[in-house]
Structure 1
Amino acid sequence: MTAFWIAAGALVALVLALLCLPLLRRKSSSGNSRQSINTAIFRDQLAELDRDLASGAVSAGDHATAREELERRVLEDVAADTQAEPDAQRRLPRTAIGLTVALPAAAIALYLLIGTPAALDPAAQQAAASPSAAEVEEMVAKLASRLEQNPDNPQGWVMLGRSYKVMGRFDDAAKAFDKAGAAMESDPELMLEVSELSAEMNQGKVEGRGAALLKRVLKDQPDNPRALVLAGTDAYFRQDYPATLRHWERVLAQVPPDSEDARNLSAGIEKVRSQMGQAAPAAQPAAPAKAAASTTATAVSGRVSLAPALAGKAAADDVVFIFARAAQGPRMPLAVLRIRAADLPRDFTLDDSMAMSPDMKLSSAGELRIEARISKSGDAIPKSGDLSGELVPVKPGAKNLQLSIDKVLP
């Protein structure tokens, strides 16, 4: 912001110099210039009189009278110039000073009136760049409306589907991707969008079209990290732990050993190996205890219920989101569970397998905020009229939590 005003001041000073210097120079040159013109005219007229006298066009008496008249006019002009010059000299500096004050003042006033002063404030600029939930919904609604009027826009449907996916409106996202048609199968990344959405809608399992597209990507690109992670996750929720290890270990071989991705994958692989030990306790008797310790460290569990006073405000088909956030820091959920209001009261467990990002897991937080919200609209963005409840602070590994949905969002 300071640099802007310095640069603006320098430009104003340059403009003022270009405007005022000619005005200031005129006080020494304007008077001399006019006197020179008057003198030249006098000489021309006097020379003409002399020629007329020589040719006999005028008499000597007329010549003398005309010469006296010319001399008198020249003296009057010189006197007038002498009187006017101080006034002009006084006015020119005043004009320059007036421009020096008025021009910057007018520029600043005009900028404040029709410009964007807030753009100079980084905090204001950052706030302006972060739209509210209502603004996001409005933008998405406008995009949906335009696409309904002009549906022949595959990229528009892809964008709308991604927007719905981020908002938690998975059914709407699936419909938008369907309307994108063949465009969703033209690129591996878009094909994986469909597969990931299927996993979101089916508790981690990739079903239907999503499963077919995931299989195609892995056939064409067997080392695609995104596809391998998703295939491993799908296998994990089907309790096909050998397949999970096969996919995730293939990804682990591709990432730098000291990277965050490597650490997250290693932790996931270790957890799967522990659970494989739980499935075969006779072969590895020490594994169940290890797995139990791992689960305890990476999960919270309890029971969520709807307060009796709000029982009449929830419909059976309303969506219920149960999620864990860090008690302090980013509000991005670390684990999410989606059920229906008809399922309440309901026992729940949130753990690292439900993380929305491999870089942000429940086990990485020192303290948690456990929240439950009944969404009347069915999407993840809070709205007025939604029902909610929370517990804070909660330590990772906590059990037997009693989470009550007991308030209405204003």
Structure 2
Amino acid sequence: MTLFWISTVGLVIVAVVLLAMTLNSKKVNKDEQLRDELNKAFYKDRLTELEEEANEGLVENQEDLIDDLKQSLLDDIPHQDKVEKTSLSPMTVLIPSVALIVVMTYGMYMHFGGASKVKDWQEVSGRLPELSKKLMEGSAEPMTEDEMQDLTLALRTRLHYQSNDSTGWLLLGRIALANRDVTTATDAMENAYRLEPEDADVKLGYAQALMMSQDEMDQNRARGLLNSLLKSEYVDLRVLSLLAFDAFERQDYPAAVRYWSVMQRMIGPEDSRYEMLTRSIENAQAKMGEPIVQGKSVAVNISVSPNARLPQDAALIVSVHPADGSPMPVAAARYPLGTFPRTVVLDDNNSMMEGRKLSSLEGLIVRARIDSDGNVATRDGDWYGESQLAELGDTVELVIDQQY
């Protein structure tokens, strides 16, 4: 605000200076000088004409005419004392004009310029760190509607000047999602995704916004983003929840049951959400008109020994084998190394053998290996781990703590 008022004072000063320059100009004197020069030129021309007429015999009283011409020239010269009495001092006009400029400028701004709103806007923008911290950390008292509006305004202001702030766009998109503002949410998440296309949180937020759209192409793109997240570092419950809800809305009840079942295995029966997921599964089963055979996938919780040294460019390979320990996997998947501990889910889509699905196994063993060179045939120096015997539908615990 200080800069704003300084700039307005500067503009007013410029206006006053221009006015003073105009009042101090010698326009009147220049007009009189031009008039005198014009009268002199007219007088000389008329003398020349009278002389030519006298030579031609057209004029007999040449001297009388010259006297009349001189008198006319004298009558056209204004009296100096009269001019001095009627002329106004420049300061007499300048002072009231300056006062009028200042009063009209600031008076009209205070009335029509929304000065109070600008002040409130500046104060809200200054509270951005405080409001953001309250939203992200989650205080005992939830944010009021006015605080959410203030946070949105402050974010929009910041993003106007810092359009490459992906975190700001993500936060604005989440607020819009909470307010069911589809247009703002989609635009904000799209900007965040454009800046950070590989960030898992940004992908998930963009998928959430696209899921709210009524456009089939937007929804298909959201499904693509969610499916890519299933193959990333770990499975986020929100990804499975969105896929389950979308499948249920599209009346793909088997897929909805599969996703909800995986969520149950990931959170365990002690979680308060377990019963809610059970009711969702039962609702989908009722829609199908027949019972569903659950347990068609394997959720694997993977951790790494503190002694293991993992290259940054390595990859994680997870494979499911029959209970007899056969080296040939029935299903397998490859993931970026990411962080640990993490959870991955394998189902029939990861099956490796023609005619034999993961869901056909009665017992299984899960193996995980950190592939350091990108060649699955070489294992020298790679770290690996193996689970205990498990059944389809179990949540498998696995620790990578051995080295070839």
Q: Into which bin does the TM-score normalised by the smaller protein fall?
A: 0.3 to 0.5
When normalised by structure 2's length, the TM-score is 0.37
Bigger Rg, which one: 2
TM score, norm. by length of structure 1: 0.37
Per residue, is there more helix in 1 or in 2?
1
